[in-house]
Chains A and B, each alone.
Chain A
Amino acid sequence: KAGVTQTPRYLIKTRGQQVTLSCSPISGHRSVSWYQQTPGQGLQFLFEYFSETQRNKGNFPGRFSGRQFSNSRSEMNVSTLELGDSALYLCASSEGTGQNTEAFFGQGTRLTVV
């Protein structure tokens, strides 16, 4: 079974631009979450989607948004990029949002804002 796939792996954008990152979960997994990892703030939860609905949201500005499609694939979008948005963005999938579920992570997308 294929793991969580994130594309692209690396991305360089200019301040003020917008970016879209993609995540394909493990087959059969219906929940997708996104995390931002930076040296200063560590790993922080962005949001979680289940069956195309946002279930939870972290403490990030509205420039960060996401969505999930009917095939469970998810995208996250960051608009008006700032230098501080440079980070490793990790996607995780799980079978559901109930108890006793575990999250499987992709390799991440490294975003650099210049």
Chain B
Amino acid sequence: AQSVTQPDIHITVSEGASLELRCNYSYGATPYLFWYVQSPGQGLQLLLKYFSGDTLVQGIKGFEAEFKRSQSSFNLRKPSVHWSDAAEYFCAVGRYGNKLVFGAGTILRVKS
């Protein structure tokens, strides 16, 4: 069965510090992987996606993620966090863009 695990429910980082959000997936075929961000009461905004090719993908707002097939991971990183990055982040897996399996989410808090 397809599944996504985000081990960290909450993460708190200081503004300006680096960030890594973890994501592990289980999927029968070669997965398509996504990271979305959600602000309170809002919908989901796509940060980045991996379909194939270069395993390091760049996204919006300075985020990047690395696909590691051997570890079934797709961790999200940002070198320097801004207070406006505080939100909930979701990793998702799917073969087609419109049927996604989501992780439980990681709430990011940013300390000033």
Chain A residues within 8 Å of B, Cβ to Cβ: 4, 6, 31-33, 35, 42-45, 48, 56, 90, 92-94, 97-108, 110
Contact = CB atoms under 8 A, between A and B. Distances in A.
Nearest to A110: B41
A45 B100 contact: yes
A35 to B, nearest CB: 8
Contact of A48 (B34, B98, B102, B105): B98
Classify the secondary structure of A's interface with B. Answer: strand
5 contacts: A33-B98, A42-B104, A45-B99, A99-B95, A101-B97
Contacts of A110: 41
Contacts of B99: 33, 45, 48, 56
B96 A99 contact: yes
Given A97-B96, A98-B96, A99-B95, A45 B46 contact: no
Nearest to B104: A42
A32 B97 CA distance: 10
A94 B98 contact: yes
B51 A103 contact: no
Interface of B: 32, 34, 36, 41-46, 49, 51, 90, 92, 95-105
A103 B101 CA distance: 12
A107 B36 CA distance: 13
A4 B36 CA distance: 16
B98 A105 contact: no
Name, among A42, A44, A94, A102, the residue most crowded by chain B CB atoms within 10 Å (CB to CB): A102
A106 B43 contact: yes
B98 A92 contact: yes
Given A31-B97, A100-B51, A103-B98, 14 more contacts: A4-B43, A31-B98, A35-B100, A35-B102, A42-B102, A56-B99, A94-B97, A97-B96, A99-B95, A102-B49, A102-B97, A103-B97, A104-B46, A108-B43
Given A100-B51, A108-B42, A110-B41, A43 B96 contact: no
Name, among B32, B44, B45, B105, the residue most crowded by chain A CB atoms within 10 Å (CB to CB): B44
